[in-house]
Structure 1
Amino acid sequence: MSIIFLLTVLLESYFKNPLLNLFTFSLTIRCLFFIILSLVYFYQVYTREADIFKSEASQFWYNVGILVYASLAFFPFFLATEMMSGIFDYSLWYVHNIGNIMKNIFFAVGLWMVQKR
């Protein structure tokens, strides 16, 4: 996955000006990879039938934060080219900002769970 992401960044930096344009395709691919990896983690926890709130509580909350952020940032990054051209207004970025705030809250909960142990 990291090789595919690196290739998309290199191709996008070759075809676009990195100072003027947002790397919309590579950011969308990154969010998609984070969503896939977060869901794989949840599937592993489900198949192991582990009690995550006793042993892995902080990892669970970190994963929830990454999943929420990647899910809410996917569409603003996917539609960023249209937003920059003026077709959409900037209200779609509010979804990205809400996802970022929720991610930070979930990370804080994860850090609090580490302190509790």
Structure 2
Amino acid sequence: MSTATKPKHIGRNISRIRELRGMKQEALAIAIGVSQQYISTLEGSETVEKEKLNSIAAVLGVSTEAIENYSDENVLNIINNNFTSHDSSTINAINVQPNFNPLDKIVELYERLVQAEKDKVEYLERLMKEK
């Protein structure tokens, strides 16, 4: 049994970060001035030359160290640690429990609409009487 650690697969890390950013291979290729096929090949290789890695990191908006040390486990830990049900931007915001009865609000709006119509009718009747 070997205790040696498996070397980082830089190409796979680039691919994962690119996907997390919602970027297609073609967009990355255009941004760094290469072909989409080159990006595909690059994402399949374990190592990437430093100069290309720097330009890819700049386009992806991360540091070269972030690409070199990327791990799915770390990303999931960050997401789990930052996820709160009290934040209105989280997925739990879909399950909002209002502190009012929605039916009461509908009735209230209906009553206001009826009152507005009554006021209009009254105003128009006054105008008609004046003529």
Scaled by the length of structure 1, the TM-score of the pair is: 0.23
Scaled by the length of structure 2, the TM-score of the pair is: 0.22
